[in-house]
């Protein structure tokens, strides 16, 4: 991928350390050109992650005032290398919690050890922090006997899971989480709607189990000729490395040996017109004597058997408003002057219900005409035991050669993403 690779860390133009010159033929002084280039980019408002100086190319990530810089003489398939570069940066954060100049200086030995394992001769190798922590410890433990060996997780086909894991009670917890992104115009039409979903696992299983997951996937139902009235068409599906992609492509079977503990198994997206789950109407009325009244009506547009929890409706108000007074049919209100909004909190909002809120404010600026109607109302919420797309886990099979009993648990959650409603 690279003919020569040099990885270094800088803070405000001052070199902290050059971590590795992987192939030995890179001029160590090339990095001196990086910060002047960055200063020019800031002036031009350019923030490209790839910059060039002569024959040298720089890939960089900035965290606060710390730059993690990779530079090379020639590059091929740069986009294939960039994810591994980002992963090695996150490995540092996993080890040191806070990635600061001080944490790098205090852990030079660990940094060098990590980069020797993350890359081999400039090629990406092991980037899973859980696996790295098995044999690179900050205490520097050494084997008493024999030559050092990498753990089996580095050399076997299942690099994301260690062997010999044992639990008294074997369980799998699966969360199907969907976020709704929505933008509604002031006239009530849906301008943008999108569902972004993820399936997250918490695995408490002994040994090397194989899991098989079945969803009401539209493509699968078409392949098998089954009724497809209650199916979903998943787009932009991304899987954890543990999923056997060839099998999914052949027959849409999601088969995998899971990582131990918590992980994200897959993510997906649906570009579909979503009926607003919580509908908001608002009226702003300005009176004489420097006074304004805002009336807000909130209606839940999902079935009565579901309930939205921790609903927060953020209603914009004029920036010079003061002396707030509120009246609500449910919940409570508070004025957040630093954000120029009223936050209406409803702890429990059952489906098919409608609530009202009125807010009165004084306007010290008599001539003020700023009612901030252009800013949209935003809504935050969470609806358990419900998915807006209708995705369902049809089965979750757990197969392990010892034949132990294992319990699968599945939970569904729908939550707000970027959920906005414009007002007149």
Report pLDDT digits (tens) over 339-360: 989 999 999 999 999 999 999 9
What's the mean per-residue pLDDT of the chain? 80
| In the predicted structure, residue 400 carries a pLDDT above the cut 80 | yes
Q: Residue 246's CB: how many other CB atoms inside 10 A?
A: 9
Q: How confident is the model at residue 140 (pLDDT cuts 50, 70, 90)?
A: very low
| In the predicted structure, residue 129 carries a pLDDT above the cut 80 | no
Under 8 Å between Cβ of 216 and 203: no
Ordered by where they begin, the domains of the chain are 5-148 (3.30.450.60), 171-274+388-421 (2.60.40.1170), 278-384 (2.60.40.1170)
CA–CA separation, 121 and 82 (whole Å) = 16
Q: What is the pLDDT of residue 94?
A: 75
Q: What is the pLDDT of residue 176?
A: 97
pLDDT (average), residues 327-333: 95
Which stretch of 16-25, 119-128, 237-246, 380-389 has the lowest confidence by average pLDDT?
16-25
Measured CA distances, 297 to 280, 294, 308, 329, 354 (Å): 6, 10, 16, 10, 7
Q: For 143-184, what is each residue's pLDDT tens digit? A: 344 444 555 555 556 889 988 999 999 999 999 999 999 999
Q: What is the pLDDT of residue 112?
A: 74
CA–CA separation, 308 and 280 (whole Å) = 15
Highest mean pLDDT among 39-48, 69-78, 145-154, 315-324: 315-324
| In the predicted structure, residue 246 carries a pLDDT above the cut 50 | yes
More confident residue, 71 or 346: 346
Q: What is the pLDDT of residue 25?
A: 61
Q: For 269-304, what is each residue's pLDDT tens digit? A: 988 888 999 999 998 887 766 788 899 999 999 999
Q: How confident is the model at residue 193 (pLDDT cuts 50, 70, 90)?
A: very high
| In the predicted structure, residue 415 carries a pLDDT above the cut 90 | yes
Q: What is the pLDDT of residue 46?
A: 62
| In the predicted structure, residue 369 carries a pLDDT above the cut 90 | no
Q: Is the pTM of this model over 0.75?
A: no
Q: What is the pLDDT of residue 144?
A: 44
pLDDT (average), residues 93-101: 73
pLDDT (average), residues 133-139: 67
Q: Distance between alpha carbon 51 and the CA centroid of its chain, in Å?
A: 27
Rounded to the nearest 5°, which phi and psi values hold at 106? -75, -10
Tokens of 418: 């970027």
Q: What is the pLDDT of residue 71?
A: 59
Which stretch of 118-132, 209-223, 405-419 has the lowest confidence by average pLDDT?
118-132
């Amino acid at each position: 991928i690279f003919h020569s690779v040099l990885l270094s860390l800088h803070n405000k133009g001052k070199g902290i350390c050059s971590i590795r010159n992987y192939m030995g033929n890179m001029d160590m002084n090339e990095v001196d050109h990086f910060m002047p280039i960055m200063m020019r980019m800031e002036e031009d408002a350019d923030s490209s992650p790839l910059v060039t100086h002569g024959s040298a190319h720089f890939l960089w990530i900035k965290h606060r005032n710390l730059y993690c810089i990779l530079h090379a003489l020639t590059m091929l398939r740069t986009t294939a290398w960039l994810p591994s570069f980002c992963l090695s940066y996150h490995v540092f954060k996993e080890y040191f919690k806070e990635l600061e100049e001080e944490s790098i200086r205090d852990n030079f030995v660990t940094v060098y050890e990590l980069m020797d394992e993350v890359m081999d001769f400039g090629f990406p190798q092991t980037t899973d922090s859980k696996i790295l922590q098995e044999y690179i410890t900050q205490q520097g433990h050494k084997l008493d006997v024999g030559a050092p060996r990498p753990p089996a997780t580095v050399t076997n086909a299942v690099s994301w899971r260690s062997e010999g894991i044992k639990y008294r009670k074997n369980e799998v917890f699966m969360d199907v989480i969907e976020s709704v992104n929505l933008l509604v115009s002031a006239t009530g039409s849906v301008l943008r709607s999108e569902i972004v979903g993820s399936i997250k696992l918490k695995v408490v299983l002994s040994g090397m189990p194989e899991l098989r997951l079945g969803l009401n996937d539209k493509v699968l139902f078409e392949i098998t000729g089954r009724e497809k009235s209650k199916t979903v068409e998943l787009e932009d599906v991304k899987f954890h490395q543990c999923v056997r992609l060839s099998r999914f492509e052949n027959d849409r079977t999601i088969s995998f040996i899971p990582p131990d503990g918590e992980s994200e198994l897959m993510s997906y997206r649906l570009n579909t017109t979503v009926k607003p789950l919580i509908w908001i109407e608002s009226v702003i009325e300005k009176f004489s004597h420097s006074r304004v009244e805002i009336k807000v009506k909130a209606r839940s547009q999902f079935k009565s058997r579901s309930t939205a929890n921790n609903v927060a409706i953020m209603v914009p108000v004029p920036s010079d408003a003061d002396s707030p007074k509120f009246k609500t049919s449910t919940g409570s209100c508070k004025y957040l002057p630093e954000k120029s909004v009223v936050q209406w909190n409803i702890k429990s909002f059952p489906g098919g219900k409608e609530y009202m809120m009125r807010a009165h404010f004084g306007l010290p600026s008599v001539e003020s005409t700023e009612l901030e109607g252009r800013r949209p109302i935003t809504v935050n919420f969470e609806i358990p035991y419900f998915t807006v797309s209708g995705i369902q886990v049809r089965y979750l099979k757990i197969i392990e050669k010892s034949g132990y009993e294992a319990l699968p648990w599945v939970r569904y959650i729908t939550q707000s993403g970027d959920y906005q409603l414009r007002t007149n």
